Structure 1
Amino acid sequence: MDWIQYLNKAIDYIEENLDGTISYQKIAKIAGCSVYNFQRVFSYITDKSLSEYIRSRRLTLAAFDILNTSDRIIDIAVKYGYESQDSFTRAFKNFHGILPSKVRHEPVRLKSCPKLSVQITMRGEHHMSYQIEQWPAFKVAGIRRRIKTDQAFGQIPQMWDTAWKDGTMNLLTDLFRKTDYRPAGFIGMSIGGQQENSEEMDYIIGVTNQVEVEGCIHVPAPGGMDEIQVKSATWAVLEANGRLPDAVQNIYRQFYTEWLPNSGYQLEDLPIMECYMQEGRQEVWIAVKKE
């Protein structure tokens, strides 16, 4: 079974449980990857977060139930996972633009989010430069913050901006001058949470301060910074040169939608890294394993 089939089976599971409990761990197990990796892949393929898709599908079906049954609105709310009629009403109005109580009493315009079906699109107009590397274990020293996964596109740039303003990047620059190890440059590392229904991730801004090879000196992390150990693994190292943030975002999308489905690899449950170097050069490191 290929990667696209795994994704579609995970979407089938979501569809079958919209009126019940949806386990993110179960979704990830069906897809053969971690919760965090599934959320990333889903968002790049569909341009929406997993939680947003589930919420939109439930509110779509809830509108059909209001139109086509005589069930009480509170019962429909509970059916689709809302603890109160008030919380359901707010979510319904945010999605459809109208109160659920009006749907049965006057002509209204409603929104519909259809079930997704993932397919491979053969493009091929943009080349992607990459290499597969078996890399030894290494350590990254830096600052670490817990952020909301579906707010990452806003919170991560703010975190970098703060790091430049508060002197963190000066400390990391000094550390970089003592190391200059690969993965190179300033690193943005994403680590997904493993809890059930995890909606958070850890993000690290740092520098590689040790690689477990003979003769490599461990340079301690500056005071107040964390040190993250990453085990030896096989990595797809993707060239993402160009103007930020588009260059990196485009590479992620191309990797998940074109390269991965055809590669014979699966995602490994390890951090994902962006390496920012000089003169518009960037690399994206994604751990993979043979199917």
Structure 2
Amino acid sequence: MLDRLNEALGRVEENPGEPVDVAAMARAALTSEHHFRRMFSVLAGMPISEYVRRRRLTLAGAEVIEGRDTLLDIAVRYGYGSAEAFGRAFRAVHGISPGQARRSGAALSSQSRLTFHLTVEGSTAMRYRIVEKEAFRLIGPGTRVPLVHEGVNQPVVEFVRGLGRDVHERVGELSDQEPHGGLSVTVTHDPDQREGSDVDFYVAAASSAPEVPEGMEALEVPAGTWVAFQFERVTSPESIQRIWVYAHSEWFPANPAYRARQGPQMVRVEYEGPDGNLATGEVWMPVERTVV
């Protein structure tokens, strides 16, 4: 899978002035566009569109400094319809205009060409299971928050604390199927998973209850396949967040029969230990079987 991903990224170098066709890149990697975008974003730490922009302007910057062609010729070669549009994009990445770069020889930013490799040494073994679920509902209070890839998401913390113990208990009582208990549920809207993009967050239960209690919402989830990664006695949010990195850097490449699909991400957590700071539970990711 990673080899095919690298081959798809080679198109950026071959056609730096062409519009980004993520669907074509996904086809070259023999996967879906959703899985391609998600895998790239998790592994690279940026959306594919941002990488292409940075890489394109890195190559363009080298030509600007070289001084052989006019700035307009360079702008057109890298897909910009005017010198003004090229100048705005150039300044956003390099901090100076193309003209200033050419006159002063100032230092420019550089986005190296990315290649992905599977590292075996030091890899973490993680238990997982594949679960087939019929259609169900996620019922609970929800809000919209910014996406945070690593560290504490303060709006989420404030929302959860503001619910009160009685709300958490009511949510727990609605649970009648896996994953059991109160869940942290996120539904992303940005296919590139940009940091700060909108995410719908719910404190919810997987349920078949026909009625939705006042103050709560119901998210209808169609039948599908899930991979549930288990974690035990971790002490920080980052430890749980790193499961997504593990999934896309190790689990999916090692299990090519599956790929990520759209759907809610669910986290089940139980706290233990003398200070209640040891978290044990599962991360549920929606997946689908690849078409052979």
TM-score (norm 1): 0.79
Deviations along 1:16-68, whole A, 9 cap, x unmatched? 34312112333334444444433331122223332321121011011022123
The equivalent of 1:245 in structure 2 is 237
Show the counterpart of 1:281. 280
Contact persistence 2:26–2:33 (CA under 8 A): yes
Are residues 255 and 219 of structure 1, via their aligned partners in 2, closer, same or farther at CA, if it must alter by over 3 Å? same
Instruction: State the partner residue of 1:207.
Output: 204
> Cα RMSD over matched residues?
3.3
Aligned to 1:220: 211
The structure 2 residue matched to 1:153, chosen from 146, 149, 167, is 149
Deviations 1:122-161 (A, max 9, x none): 124422121122222221124556677xx54389924413
Instruction: Find the aligned partners of 1:129 and 1:266 in 2 and give their Cα distance.
Output: 16
Work out the CA distance in 2 between the residues paired with 1:254 and 1:14: 26
Q: Contact conserved, 1:191 with 1:203, CA < 8 A, in 2?
A: yes
> Is 1:232 matched up with 2:223?
yes
Q: In percent, how many aligned pairs have the same letter?
A: 26
Question: Counterparts in 2 of 1:93-104, with a 5 A limit?
Answer: 93-104=91-102
Call closer, same or farther: CA 1:178–1:145 in 2, change over 3 Å: closer
Q: Does 1:188 align with 2:189?
A: no
Aligned position for 2:160? 164
Q: Residues 1-291 of structure 1: matches in 2 within 5 Å? A: 3-82=1-80, 85=83, 88-143=86-141, 151-153=147-149, 157-167=153-163, 171-179=167-175, 181-184=177-180, 185-192=182-189, 202-210=199-207, 217-223=208-214, 225-241=216-232, 242-279=234-271, 280-291=279-290
Question: What letter is aligned with 1:171?
Answer: V
Deviations 1:74-112 (A, max 9, x none): 453454355664554344334334332122223322232
Counterpart contact for 1:238–1:284, Cα < 8 Å:
yes
Superimposed CA distance per residue, residues 152-187 of structure 1 (whole angstroms, 9 cap, x where no aligned partner): 438992441342354388535412223253223322
Identify which range, 247-256 or 218-227, moves more after superposition. Answer: 218-227
Q: How many residues align?
A: 279
Q: Deviations over 1:186-232 (max 9, x none)?
A: 222234557xx89666433132342xxxxxx5153334543222222
Q: Secondary structure at the match of 2:102?
A: coil
Q: Is the 8 A contact 1:142 1:204 kept in 2?
A: no
Post-superposition offset of 1:268: 4.0
Q: Name structure 2 gaps, 5 residues minimum.
A: 272-278
2:38–2:193 contact (8 Å) kept in structure 1? no
Q: Residues 144, 85 of structure 1: CA spacing in aligned structure 2 closer, same or farther, 3 A cutoff?
A: farther
Change (3 A) 1:275 1:248: same
Q: Which segments of 5 or more consecutive residues in structure 1 lack a partner in the other structure? A: 211-216
SS in 2 for 1:25: helix
Aligned to 2:276: none
Question: Quick one: distance in 1 between partners of 2:153 and 2:98?
Answer: 37
Tell me which amino acid in the other structure corresponds to 1:284: V
**Within 2, Cα distance between the matches of 1:87 and 1:103?**
16
| Rounded Cα–Cα distance in structure 1 between residues aligned with 2:21 and 2:145 | 21
Distance in 1 separating the partners of 2:86 and 2:143: 32
Q: What SS is found at the alignment partner of 1:278?
A: strand
